[in-house]
Structure formats: C-alpha cells, structure tokens
A and B are shown apart, each in its own frame.
Chain A
Amino acid sequence: MALLKSMMGRLRKGLDRTRKAMGGGLRALLGGKRLDENLIRDLERALIQSDTGVATTRKLITGVRDAYKTQRLNTGDEVIEYLKRELKALWPEQDRALHFSADPGVPTVILVAGVNGAGKTTSIAKLAHALHEQNKSVLLAACDTYRAGAVRQLEIWAERLDMQVVKGQQGGDPAAVAFDAAEAAISRNVDVLIVDTAGRLHTQDSLMRQLTKIRDVVRRRIPQAPHEVLLVLDATTGQNATQQARQFAQAIDVTGIFLTKLDGTARGGVVIAIQQETNIPVKFIGVGETPADVEPFDPDRFVDALFADE
C-alpha cells in the first residue's frame, strides 16, 4: 500500500505532541529514576491527562504498583518496558485493512459517519486521495444535505482531487442521494463509492435512524454494501468517544474508526480507551490538514511512538 510509505516518520511527526505530553513526557518522567509512590502518582496523572480514562489508567497503575511492591519493578526504565508490553498486549490481532468488494464488478462502498465537527469531509478527502493514489476510481456521495455549505465543501475537495460527486438538494433526503450515488457508481463502473453523511450527535435517535436508512437504501442497490463503515472520531474528544462508538456501532455496524486531529492533541490516550471500551479497530489516523496526512493505524508502532526518545 502506498500509504505505508514513510509511515513511521509521519506517524511520529503527527504524534509529536502526544509523544511530548505522554510518551516523551513519560520517558522524561520515568527515565533514569528509581520507582516510588510519588513516581507512580505522577504516572497516573500523565495517563489521565492523555485521556486514557480512569478505568484503564487504574488497571495499568495497579499493575505497576503491584509489581513495585513485589519488587519486580524497581526503576522507571523498567516501568517503560512494562507499560510498552502491557499496552501492546491490549491490541489483539485485528483486521485493520480497508475492506473491498470481493466482486471486481461491484463497487466498494465506504459509508462515513460521525458527530458534528469530527472531520468527516476532510477525512473523506484523505481517503479518496489515498485510494486515488492506488489508481482506484472514486465517486463521492454528498449526503450531508443538512449543514449549509457541506455539499459545496465536498465539491471543492472533489475538484481539487479531480473526482466526481453525486449531490442532492440542500434539505433533501440524504437516503435518496445515497441511492442515486449507488446507481451512479454502478453505471459509471467506479471502484469505490464514498458516502459522506451529515454530522449528528449519537444521542439524536431520529438522526441515527436516518443513518440506518441511508445504509439500508444503499444496500438495496448493492447488496453487500457498505463494505466498510467508518466512524470519524475527533481525537480531542474525551471519554465520550467510546459512547459515540457504541451508539454509531448500534445504528450502522461500524467496521472501523478514522481518528482525526491526532496532530493537534496531546491526547493519544483516547486510542487506548477506545480499544478497551469497544471492539472496533482504529483503522486510520489523521495527522494533518492536507489530503496526504493520513496513516493506517498500527498499535505497536503507536505504542513505540508514545515511548520514543525525545
């Protein structure tokens, strides 16, 4: 995958602040120190402040404390190695690849959803760009008929990336647009159809039902669709992230998470919280503002980046 190119460097660049606040900070915090109660408390603070969540933090800290009391861990450096091991063990072998249609004659459909302001449209541009680089033809469906300017926003990206968009009327039925787009994807014989949806809070039942409807309508035209359902999650979101993941998963069977704004946040911990609280794999991370700023997520590398040297 072209995406994998220079991935390590990019991920590290994107996670730079995370690293400074959490990993780098952790290395600075733990490196070369003797382990004691104060250090354990500082570690707890660092984890909490990275949005790791109370439950997961407590679990990790309890582990450290027990090992400290039984003198299995005596130095900060040992704690670093211990945490790396523990964190890496949190991720089982998981399928993190983008799912494609098994039948080359049938277009792959990627449904993209998320709360308002999570970064759906930008993430779609990134995805489309990456697929484009793999020589796949991409069609975009502008199903955000609610927010003013949303269709235009997607159109502008499409122009920049040289792609086609299927759109409907502002205020129109998004499911109808999705159906038309599925139709168009088949007749134009494109490889991938990416469906953009309006941002919605996971607490709004009627809007969540609308999302289910969009999915079902597409399915009526392309029975195996959607092949991929991506939930776009803002990495600066706190513990509500897992709540979002659960609710969206219930409505549309989310198959993967696209974690955005990881570049701006000092909070990589939410990745850990998501893994602990939901079973949905993080597939992509957004680490910048240009269409090229996307990386596949790799837990081992992520953990290594967290604990990298300054």
Chain B
Amino acid sequence: MFDRLSDGFSSAFKKLSGKGKISEANVREAMDEVRDALLDADVNYEIVNDFCDSVVDRAVGTEVTKSLSPQQEMVGIVHKALVDLMSAPTEPGVPRVSPGPTVVMMCGLQGSGKTTTCGKLAAYLKKRGRSVMLAAADLQRPAAVDQLRTVAQQVETEMPGGAQVHFYAEPDKVAEYGKAVGAAITVCQNAYKAAKAKGVDTLILDTAGRLHVNDDLMGELRAVNRALQPHHILLVVDAMTGQDAVNSAKAFHEQLEIDGVILTKFDSDTRGGAALSVKKVTGAPIRFIGVGEKLDAIEEFHAERVAGRILGMGDVVSLVERAQQEVSEEEAERMAEKMAKGQFTMEDFLDQMRTLRKMGPMKQLLGMLPGVGQALKDVQVDEKQLDRIEGIVNSMTPTERKDVNKINPSRRKRIARGSGVKPEEVSQLVKQFGVVSKLSQQFSGMGIKGKMKAMKDLQAAGGAAGALGGMGMPALPGMGRKGSTHTASPKTRFKKRRK
C-alpha cells in the first residue's frame, strides 16, 4: 500500500545521491519532495511540516557514514523519524485486566469497519485462549445486530483457539435511527453483568458509527464511557481517510480519551498517511491493522515495519547498520575505484565476500532487502556454495588472484584439487568473474537505468556471477538505495537455483 509514498521518497532521495555530504541545502531540496509525497499520502498538513522540519534538523550536520551515500543516510534518518512518530511504548494487543472482564469499547465513524474489527479482535483473543463476549451496542444501523451475531458465530465455529465466544444483544431495543440513543447504555450495562456472571475474559462493545460532529451520539459514547469505564477505548479508523482523519480522531479523543487505534483496510493501496496523523494527534498507540476480509486478517502494529513499508525498504536500515560496522569508507572507495578502472581482482572479491558474510547469514541479509523477504520465505540459501567459492579462491596463488588469465589447464587442475571441486567449476567461476568485473567497470559510468539493465545482464550470466554482483554491492556508490536493482537480482537468481 505504501508503494507510491515510497516512490515519492525514492525520487526525493535520488537527488541526494552522488552528493558527498548532507547539507541543509540538499536536504531541504529533497524534503520538498518528501513533503509532497507525504501530503499525497494524506498525512495532515501540519504534521507533514513538523515532520519535515524535524528530519532536516536531524539530518543537517550528520556526517555521512563511511561506505554510504547521502541518500542511504537520509533513508535511515527519515525511517527513524517515521518510527518515532508512530511508535509508543505500550504492551501489544489488548492487555488483560484483573479482575475481569476486560472491557473494550470500539468507536469510530460510519463505515470505518467497527463490526468486522470486533470479530477480528474476538478471533485474535480466542486464539490466545481468552474468552470473549461481543455485545451489540449499535442499535442505529439497520441489521448491525444481525451482522455482529453472524460474526460472533463465525468466530466461535470457524476460528482457531479453545476459548468461548459469546454474543450479547437486546434486539427489542433496536429502534429506528435517532430514537434509540439512551438504550445503548442499558445494553452495555446488561452485557457487562452477563459477561461478569459468565466469567468472560474480555467484553467487546460494538458501538454505532457516528460522526464526530454529532453531539447526541458523542454524548451517548460519553455516557457509556461513564457507566462502564472501559479499560480500552479503541478508535477504528479507515486507513484510506484523508486530511479529516486528524479532526475526527481529535474529536473522539477529546470526548473519550482513547487508548488505542485500529487501522482498517490496510490492504488497500492507500498510502496510509492517516496512520501518521492519528497517532500524532491522539498520542494513542496504533494497536492493530486490518489487512483483509477474513476474520483472521488482523495484525499487531509495528512502527518499524510500517515505516519500512512507507520507505519500501524491507529492513535496509539494519542492513545499513551492519554495513556501517563492517565496511570502512576508505575501503569502499578503494574498491569502487578499482571497479571503475577494471582492476577488480579475485583478491578483492574474496575480501568483499568475507566482509559480507561477516554481516550475517546470506538468507537473512537478502531478507532485509526490499521485496526479497517474502519471495525467499521458502527458499533454501546454500551457504555451502559460498564456502566452495571461497575455497576455490583460497586455492589460487596470489598471482592467479591478481590476474585470472594466468590460470591455464594445469593451474586449474591444481586449484580444483586444492579446493575439492571439479576443474569445470573453477573455469565457471573464472568465466563469471570476468563477466562481473567487466560489468562493474561499465557500472561506474552508468546512470541508474543502465545499472538496472546491467544487473539484468548479470542475472543472465547466472549462478555465481549473480552472487558476485551481490558481493560487489556494498561498495557500489550511488547504487545502494535503489531497491529495485537489488530486489530483482537475488529473487530471480534463487528462483533459478531452485530449478
């Protein structure tokens, strides 16, 4: 869903690439586009301005970490700022209150998805062994009670978990819109008594959707709040909401002091700026996100992951952090220069591979790259293959490593014997290395599009050559952030390997 916001960031950060240091001028310029991207993503105007200012403050004066381009550095800063904005120290889920029942009141605008979310929450709790009572306090919308009853039944019969799911309603209290205002309070009170008597763990109150400007109905919510003093008041917000998200969230918060937010319809392609806005104006943590039509389509909210999604970067931040620990700037520059001049040797390659492997298991590293994690879920990454490559290079003499052309059939045989592989495997590695070093030379002079094409050629070269391309990555300046270049190559490569 955050794809387009990410695009906005990418183009903003493209401007930073190639520049040596983060200065106020280049940050401001890039932030203009970030600002537009966030506004286009429906983040509230004021919040966007505050956010951009805080990012500029953070960024200016930051020394560009060795081995990283300024754009990568900025990604880290923006990511951190997004996480700070969205996260809150809180216990995840719906903390249990003792003595029970834990009372949860759901509220929100019409059509935000309260009733469905009630069902999802019940399923979530049931799975964790907590019994639930769903109480139908929406007496306004036609058939809302029927809907909740059906949902409760579905959770009871279809969803996993041992705990019981109860349903409470007083259908006779349902009256035509506008006449049943006081009745909702009675229903809630009776539901509480029933829940207590049954020893239910959590009582969830499904209230009617209402406009935050409707005084009568907001009064009803206040009355329910006073009468039952729910432990958790959760505001259900449509993730596609525009600038008005701020106003409605603020209004609900002022009246009820909400304890948490559930964002629904997160599986749409909305850029989801409402997430930022709502968190900012209420201060209440986003607890869950709704991600589909099914009753189990609910996830706990993780600011890091959503921020990562906003930036479309997987967990590049951790990757960047690890790179910072392992690669010195001088080293990276030396390597880049060598590549540009076509002087990249087997020796350098071995160094890079070792550095990369120091950062962690290959699969984990690839999983941090944007878009790759999901694709690699069931793929076995063969670390042994990398061991073999290392073995082959280790069996070469320093002269051979400096100039692979020196490897004649006799030398090849010796290397093969030394590393316990077949001579053909040595030839293959040498051949692919030739392709890679030629490509890396071309790389340095290319624009981003040329680089992407080159990466494709690289994949075509297949096998270890693809791996070699990956190895060169941390040292290729200006290439780092361009997620798509990285994304495509390992994905295709491993698909190929699986075949």
Interchain CB contact under 8 A, B271 and A239: yes
Interchain CB contact under 8 A, B111 and A119: yes
User: What's the nearest-Cβ distance from chain A to residue B14, in Å?
Assistant: 19
- For the complex, would chain B's binding face be called helix, strand, loop or mixed by DSSP majority? loop
Interchain CB contact under 8 A, A202 and B240: no
Q: List 26 A-B contacts (CB under 8 A).
A: A48-B243, A51-B244, A54-B39, A115-B268, A117-B110, A119-B110, A121-B142, A147-B116, A148-B148, A149-B115, A149-B143, A152-B143, A152-B146, A153-B142, A155-B143, A204-B267, A204-B293, A234-B111, A234-B240, A236-B109, A236-B241, A238-B243, A243-B270, A261-B111, A267-B242, A267-B243
Interchain CB contact under 8 A, B243 and A148: no
With A148-B147, A239-B40, A266-B247 known to touch, is A51 a contact of B268 (CB < 8 Å)?
Answer: no
Residues of B at the A interface (CB closer than 8 Å) are 36, 39-42, 44-45, 109-113, 115-116, 141-151, 154, 176-177, 211-214, 238, 240-245, 247-248, 265, 267-271, 273-274, 293
Q: Which of A153, A237, A243 contacts B242 (CB 8 A)?
A: A237
Interchain CB contact under 8 A, A115 and B240: yes
Chain A residues with CB under 8 Å of B151's CB are 148
Interchain CB contact under 8 A, B241 and A238: yes
Q: Which of B42, B44, B110 contacts A240 (CB 8 A)?
A: B42
With A149-B147, A157-B142, A290-B177 known to touch, is A238 a contact of B242 (CB < 8 Å)?
Answer: yes
Chain A residues with CB under 8 Å of B45's CB are 45, 48-49
User: What's the nearest-Cβ distance from chain A to residue B60, in Å?
Assistant: 23
With A54-B36, A201-B268, A239-B242 known to touch, is A150 a contact of B143 (CB < 8 Å)?
Answer: yes
With A49-B243, A148-B150, A264-B109 known to touch, is A240 a contact of B142 (CB < 8 Å)?
Answer: no
Interchain CB contact under 8 A, A289 and B247: no
CA distance A267 to B111 in the complex (A): 17
A278 at the interface (CB under 8 A from B): no
CA distance A298 to B87 in the complex (A): 44
CA distance A49 to B40 in the complex (A): 11
Interchain CB contact under 8 A, B241 and A149: no
Closest to B238 in A: A117
Chain B residues with CB under 8 Å of A121's CB are 142
Total interface residues in chain A, CB < 8 Å:
47
A270 at the interface (CB under 8 A from B): yes
- The 9 A-B pairs of least Cβ separation, nearest first, read A238-B242, A117-B111, A149-B147, A148-B150, A238-B42, A156-B142, A152-B143, A264-B211, A153-B143
Closest to B240 in A: A240
CA distance A160 to B145 in the complex (A): 18
CA distance A121 to B244 in the complex (A): 23
Closest to A155 in B: B143
Beyond A203-B269, A261-B109, 9 extra complex contacts between A and B, CB < 8 Å: A51-B42, A54-B39, A115-B268, A148-B154, A153-B142, A170-B150, A236-B245, A243-B269, A261-B211
Interchain CB contact under 8 A, A148 and B146: yes
Interchain CB contact under 8 A, A49 and B177: no
User: What's the nearest-Cβ distance from chain B to residue A154, in Å?
Assistant: 8
Interchain CB contact under 8 A, B39 and A264: no
Q: Which of B115, B150, B177, B265 contacts A289 (CB 8 A)?
A: B177
Interchain CB contact under 8 A, A50 and B243: yes
Interchain CB contact under 8 A, B111 and A116: yes
User: A45-62: which have CB < 8 Å to B?
Assistant: 45, 48-51, 53-54
Chain A residues with CB under 8 Å of B241's CB are 236-238
CA distance A237 to B151 in the complex (A): 26
CA distance A290 to B176 in the complex (A): 11
Chain A residues with CB under 8 Å of B144's CB are 149, 153
- Most chain B CB inside 10 Å of its own CB: which residue of A49, A115, A146, A150: A49
Interchain CB contact under 8 A, B212 and A264: yes
A263 at the interface (CB under 8 A from B): yes
Closest to B176 in A: A160
Chain B residues with CB under 8 Å of A156's CB are 142-143
With A49-B45, A115-B268, A290-B177 known to touch, is A238 a contact of B142 (CB < 8 Å)?
Answer: no
User: What's the nearest-Cβ distance from chain A to residue B190, in Å?
Assistant: 21
CA distance A264 to B116 in the complex (A): 22
CA distance A194 to B211 in the complex (A): 27
User: What's the nearest-Cβ distance from chain B to residue A28, in Å?
Assistant: 17
CA distance A53 to B273 in the complex (A): 13
CA distance A275 to B270 in the complex (A): 19
A118 at the interface (CB under 8 A from B): yes
With A203-B268, A238-B240 known to touch, is A49 a contact of B44 (CB < 8 Å)?
Answer: yes
Interchain CB contact under 8 A, A240 and B270: yes
With A237-B242, A264-B213 known to touch, is A152 a contact of B142 (CB < 8 Å)?
Answer: yes
